[in-house]
Amino acid sequence: MSFLVGIDGGTEGLRAFVFDLQGRPKGSGVGSYPTRFPQPSYAEQEPVSWWSALGEATHKALKEAEAAPQEIKAVAADTTCCSVVALDERMEPLRPALIWMDVRAGQEAQDVLATHDRAVQLNAAGSGPVSAEWMIPKALWLKRNEPDTYAQAVAICEYQDYLNYRMTGRYVGSFNNSSIRWHFLKSAGGRPDSLLSSLGISDLAEKWPPTIVPIGEVIGGLTSEAAEHMGLVAGTPVVQGGADAFIGMVGLGVINPRQLALITGSSHLQLAVTDRPMFSRGWWGPYEDCVYKGSFVIEGGQTSTGSIIKWFLTNFCAGTSYAELNDAAERIAPGADGLLVLDHFQGNRMPHTDPTSRGAIVGLTLAHTPAHVYRAVIEGICFGTEAILRAFQTDKFRLTEVVIAGGATKSAFWLQTHADVSGLPLIRTEIADAPALGSAILAAVGAKLFGSIEEAVQAMVRRKEIIEPNEDKHAVYTELFKSYNRMYGAIKEIRENTPKRNSPN
């Protein structure tokens, strides 16, 4: 038998799956890790906990699959993107990682944009915005605020690179991550040296991985230590992956122009394939060859989605299950009896790219129940997605289909609300964890079990159902969206005119 291990390093934990060559999961395992929020806008994790979770998850997956270690032909991983790690000369972490949702580097992001460097053109032809989540703003924040840590760091990289280093002993970067988050431009020769120079951090290039490997190519074999840790055979090929949502495109079979992948989880990401470069405010990109050679990807995203639901359940609905909340919320009419939620609990990624934005629950009365708030949160998340889909679609570009994966697929209510708000049918594939399947597809390509990503997708991805929108509810949501759309500006005005806590006034 021939099997593949697809690894998905997420926000709350790491999942490992054993897949066969038809893309069928034979076993899975999870290793969890905590996130610390030491201040507003901060979010940190310990890199060593990622490694511990990897060992735990792969052992569980192999046991459940009843797969012998020698039957695993290759391994590939995707991880959260922009989870930045500083490593010392022994390649051990100097501090907790600034994970993707950490947006403390808001000023640094503005400084990156203000350089007007050519490397910034990947966002609306240079008009921006640049996100505080990204690699260069975070590295710049480290240099300004923790100069000793920055100086001691021999390597500054991402979760993806750290995990691959621990597995292979090779310090390499992913072309996917570097092209979407490090301002690497193929048309400009790669590394953004002039941008780094303008910011006074030319030495960052020396800390980055010296070699950048495209997705689907072999990095190296598992070391003896890594093989023992994971329950596999030393020398098993480790194939390059990338950012979880982008690898999820592969796992969803979103490979043709005008298809869109909606990746849901702690956050949402919207990724559309185009056959030519397209620039506009309201999205990020275009990213050339970041997933498929000869095509471009444009991107939207919401910073907090599933994480809001978890926050609400943990803090206000102890002892209540998701299933109970779903059942109760479905019995409430669209609009949650006058409640509106702005989904900016950890800032806004798109279309405003405002790390200082904050969430809001508007319209509360004593008649509202937890189910009302839960429904309003779901609707607010779906409105946030709709804002991005509207930004994507122009007279020259229309989406033909949306393929969805991730946490939202576990809730029929959430799926239907997404369809009702957008007015677009949603396609659901057999495998909900599309990034893990995408990683397995890349592993298969790297192991030469298929001739291309497209060929592997045809063999390993299958569609399951189509969720059609309810036209009557879509009409209601179209009107409610107008009110949602006004909330960002209204809340921003209130926030900016509210005296700060330490203000003498």
The DSSP-derived string for 250-284 is HHHT--STTEEEEEESSSEEEEEEESS----TTSE
Q: Residues 118, 123, 124, 127: what is their CA dihedral angle, to the nearest 10 degrees?
A: -60
Question: Which of 325, 183, 348, 323 has the alpha carbon at shortest distance from 268?
Answer: 348
Residues in the chain: 505
306-390+471-496: what CATH class?
alpha beta
Cβ–Cβ < 8 Å for 250, 267: no
The pLDDT of residue 199 is 97
The pLDDT of residue 503 is 43
Domain range annotation of the chain = 3-242, 254-301+393-467, 306-390+471-496
Using CA atoms, how far residue 69 sits from 12, 72, 73, 481, in Å, is 27, 6, 9, 52
Its pTM stands at 0.84
pLDDT digits (tens, 9 = 90+) for 376-397: 999 999 999 999 999 888 777 8
Ranges in the chain, pLDDT < 70: 122-128, 187-189, 501-505
Enumerate the β-bridge partners of residue 427: 403, 466
The pLDDT of residue 225 is 98
Cα atoms in the 13 Å half-sphere on the side-chain side of 180: 28
Domains 3-242 and 306-390+471-496 share a fold: yes
C-alpha to C-alpha distance for 389 and 301, rounded to whole angstroms: 10
Using CA atoms, how far residue 268 sits from 74, 303, 305, 447, in Å, is 29, 7, 6, 31
- Cα 354 off chain centre by: 17
The pLDDT of residue 280 is 76
Name the one residue in this structure whose structure tokens are 């109760």: 328
3-242: what CATH class?
alpha beta
Name the one residue in this structure whose structure tokens are 């043709």: 256
The pLDDT of residue 349 is 84
Contacts of 406-411 spanning 24+ positions with Cβ under 8 A: 406/248, 406/263, 406/264, 406/265, 406/306, 406/432, 406/433, 406/434, 407/264, 407/265, 407/266, 407/306, 408/264, 408/306, 409/264, 410/322, 411/322, 411/326
In eight-state DSSP terms, residue 347 is B
* The residue type at 169: G
The pLDDT of residue 499 is 83
Quick one: how many helices (H) and strands (E) in the chain? 17, 21
Question: Which of 398, 303, 298, 291 has the alpha carbon at shortest distance from 342?
Answer: 303
Identify the architecture of domain 254-301+393-467 in CATH.
2-Layer Sandwich (3.30)
Cβ–Cβ < 8 Å for 343, 360: no
The pLDDT of residue 189 is 63
Which two three-digit tokens encode residue 55?
């060992």
pLDDT digits (tens, 9 = 90+) for 396-421: 788 888 999 988 999 999 999 999 99
